[in-house]
Amino acid sequence: MNGKYGACPIFGLSDVSKLINEKDIFFLETLQVRADSADKIIAEAEAQGKDTNDINVMKELGEEINALGTPIHRNESIMTAVFVSLRLMVFYGIAIGIWGLVFKKSILLFGLCGVVAGLIICLFSVAPVIASQRTKQRIRDMVFGAGAMWGNLGIIIGAVGLVALVIRFLIFRT
């Protein structure tokens, strides 16, 4: 850190002693990434000939650095990953459970298979990605991406199952 952070109040760097535990490595790493980004932005400003001793220039740079996002605690990203995973598991449980009705089998057994499929998807692709994010904006982006990719697929599976169920009732009347 080049020591110029006091002139531009940056969220998460000016009150470090209040925010962290010595054992909270994730948050310390987040602050290090933020400090490195601040160093780069300040160095670029100096390379462009801006006076980094001027308070107005430093306030502008502080706003630019703050626009990168506020660092969050690891627990927040983990809890978001858990809730997104549970939501996807419910989507897949319902969607594949509908197929149990289509095939005249146990809706509960098919639903359980859907929940397991959702769990596998979440364990290998959704939860690790969301839990590793360090800012709220990145978490929002990853939650949107997971919903757009995996949530929509679950909805499509369920919608096709409903169409197949309606066709079965209308054509075969059983």
- Residue 10's pLDDT is what? 58
Q: How many angstroms separate the CA atoms of 6 and 32, rounded?
A: 16
- Residue 69's pLDDT is what? 67
**Under 8 Å CB-to-CB from 107, ≥6 apart: which residues?**
97, 98, 100, 101
Give the pLDDT of the chain (174 residues) as one tens digit per residue: 455 555 565 555 555 555 555 556 666 666 777 777 788 888 888 899 888 888 888 888 888 877 776 667 778 889 999 999 999 999 999 999 999 999 999 999 999 999 999 999 999 999 999 998 877 888 999 999 999 999 999 999 999 999 999 999 999 876
83 and 146 Cβ atoms separated by less than 8 Å = no
- Residue 25's pLDDT is what? 60
- Can you give the residue ranges of every domain in the chain? 16-66, 74-172
- Residue 70's pLDDT is what? 67
- Residue 1's pLDDT is what? 46
- Residue 127's pLDDT is what? 94
Q: What are phi and psi of 71, to 5 degrees?
A: -65, 145
Name the DSSP letter for residue 135.
Answer: B
Which helix (H) or strand (E) is 149 found in, with range? none
DSSP string, 81-111: HHHHHHHHHHHHHHHHHHHHHHTTS-HHHHH
Q: Which residues pair with 135 in a beta bridge?
A: 71
